[in-house]
Structure 1
Amino acid sequence: MHVDIDATCPVCQVSRESINHCLVECPFARASWARTDIGVSTIVDGTFSAWLESLFKIFDEEQRKIIAMTCWALWRVRNDCVWKGKVARVATVTNLAKHTLVQWTKAQDKFEVPTATFLTKEDGAESWRKPAAGIVKINVDAALFSDSSTYSFACVARNDQGHTLEAITCCRNGVVSPELVEAMGMREALSWIKKKSWDKVIIETDCLTVVQALRSAISMDSYFGSLIKECKGLWNDDKNIRIFFVKRSVNSVAHALARASCHVADCTIRGGDFSPAILDEEVQVATEEQAIATASIKLHKIFLAARGKRLGGASLIDECARSWLEGASVIDEGARSGIGG
């Protein structure tokens, strides 16, 4: 089979396309570089990489970022012209480069403090509460394991009596940001709701970034942005789903399950797998936080037992149980004991 390929530049539709022409020499590219106002030369004597290297030697760090992002934006606009039939505009290149650079810079800032943008008075719960009659509540949380270069997320669904209906976990190889894993967990929760055909659902997550992104109309050109777009698509298909930001203390069960999943692969724990003792202990334990802690430890045990994974000698889970009942954090104690990687 023979496929004819047009080598003409899809933007100017005059010259033969090459990497030099597309990103530097095309009249459209030159106009885009002129809009950066940093004095980039559009004369190429050799390869594109040599041209780029020469620029990086004479411009400062901030200007190099603008150069790199403008190259990416030019290529992105060129692809949109070819594959989506969009009209290439210089303003699109400069705005895309500028907006993406701002997002990237914020993502690198470890001291960036998230604001309360897009939050409501219903957000920020500090303790878990049973949902209203007929509503299923799903808690989503993630965990990262730097030692094994893996990450996981868990979703726990409970009914209006506070009883667990089902829980799912996923564990994957890779080194990614916490926000990405939280977004993956949210996508999994929304897909799960669709499969289970639950009518009215509340989703709670302690990732403020994901909640803000879901409520924002801003489109993000990144992998995180594509995950949020998928989540929005699933969310928009079902108007009976509400998503709220909660404090980490609310997500104890989901977090304990996410950390437990590093021991085994993906797992589904159904309502019938949960011992009635969990409910009995929830009644006997004085505070809700302790009840959630006890339930999370039971889930952890069921999870490991279901896969035949048992701990030799003194059980680390039992150590966590005692710590929980003394008011300590299962997450912190688990980290000290080695649970979760």
Structure 2
Amino acid sequence: MYKLNYDAAVFADSANSGFGAVIRNSSGEVMAAMIVKGLAIHDSDEAELLACRKAMEFAIDAGFTMLIIEGDSVNAMRGIVSGRENQSALGHVIGDIRHLMGAVEWSSVSCIKRNGNRVAHALAIYAHHVSTNLFWMEEVPLVALDFVNFDAFLIEMKV
């Protein structure tokens, strides 16, 4: 079982957005991470759904088939888990995410508080400073390392 956290950032000073994702095992160890530079986004709901779709594509391409998918947008999570067909302008993105979820052995979706999504958020924000998409396996970039270490500390404290 792996946990996929994703987040999005909208950059008001440019015509770009950023997506970040981290995949961790049950011990909290980083298995994979990504930073993706996105196009201009209209609103945060669109950004979050596009980030989720990109994170799912990344996880599947990397071979992860049992996923707990976590994001910090209530609206995005509601749209994904709703059993109804979504007729909104973002309905096709929600449909893509649901299709990707069907391509894995098992998945669940949950909304978490922002402070539980710090690693993915740091990666999404850092996308503002890159010119190409970046992917890591079994490591995390320095920009998010402090947050990974803090999360590991919290896990140890609970044990």
Alignment TM class, shorter chain as reference: 0.7 to 0.9
Return the alpha-carbon distance in structure 2 between the equivalents of residues 221 and 214 of structure 1. Answer: 13
Structure 1 position 247 matched with structure 2 position 113: yes
Partner of 2:34: 168
CA contact (8 A) 1:139 1:156 kept: yes
Return the alpha-carbon distance in structure 1 between the equivalents of residues 11 and 65 of structure 2. Answer: 35
Partner of 1:153: 19
Using the TM superposition, give the Cα deviation of residue 212 of structure 1 relative to its aligned residue in structure 2, in angstroms.
0.8
CA contact (8 A) 1:145 1:151 kept: yes
Partner of 2:136: 269
CA contact (8 A) 2:23 2:59 kept: no
How is 1:113-262 mapped onto 2 (pairs within 5 angstroms)? Answer: 135-262=1-128
Per-residue CA deviations over 1:99-120 (Å, capped at 9, x if unaligned) read xxxxxxxxxxxxxxxxxxxxxx
Query: How many percent identity over aligned positions?
Result: 25
Using the TM superposition, give the Cα deviation of residue 286 of structure 1 relative to its aligned residue in structure 2, in angstroms.
10
Using the TM superposition, give the Cα deviation of residue 245 of structure 1 relative to its aligned residue in structure 2, in angstroms.
0.7
Aligned-residue Cα RMSD (Å) equals: 2.7
The AA in structure 1 aligned to 2:73 is C
Using the TM superposition, give the Cα deviation of residue 217 of structure 1 relative to its aligned residue in structure 2, in angstroms.
2.5
Return the alpha-carbon distance in structure 2 between the equivalents of residues 196 and 209 of structure 1. Answer: 27
User: How many pairs does the alignment contain?
Assistant: 152
Matched residue of 1:201: which SS?
Answer: strand
Distance 1:226 1:199, change over 3 A: closer
Identify the structure with the greater strand proportion.
Answer: 2
The AA in structure 1 aligned to 2:37 is C
Distance 1:184 1:286, change over 3 A: closer
Matched residue of 1:223: which SS?
Answer: coil
Runs of 5+ in structure 2 lacking a partner?
none
TM-score, normalisation: structure 1: 0.41
Using the TM superposition, give the Cα deviation of residue 170 of structure 1 relative to its aligned residue in structure 2, in angstroms.
1.2
Return the alpha-carbon distance in structure 2 between the equivalents of residues 224 and 210 of structure 1. Answer: 10
Using the TM superposition, give the Cα deviation of residue 177 of structure 1 relative to its aligned residue in structure 2, in angstroms.
0.9
CA contact (8 A) 2:22 2:30 kept: yes
- Give 1 or 2 for the bigger CA radius of gyration: 1
Identify the structure with the greater helix proportion.
Answer: 1
The AA in structure 1 aligned to 2:60 is K
TM-score, normalisation: structure 2: 0.83
Distance 1:137 1:148, change over 3 A: same
Using the TM superposition, give the Cα deviation of residue 273 of structure 1 relative to its aligned residue in structure 2, in angstroms.
6.1
Matched residue of 1:161: which SS?
Answer: coil
CA contact (8 A) 1:146 1:175 kept: no
Return the alpha-carbon distance in structure 1 between the equivalents of residues 141 and 47 of structure 2. Answer: 26
Using the TM superposition, give the Cα deviation of residue 274 of structure 1 relative to its aligned residue in structure 2, in angstroms.
5.9
Return the alpha-carbon distance in structure 2 between the equivalents of residues 286 and 163 of structure 1. Answer: 8
Runs of 5+ in structure 1 lacking a partner?
1-134, 290-341
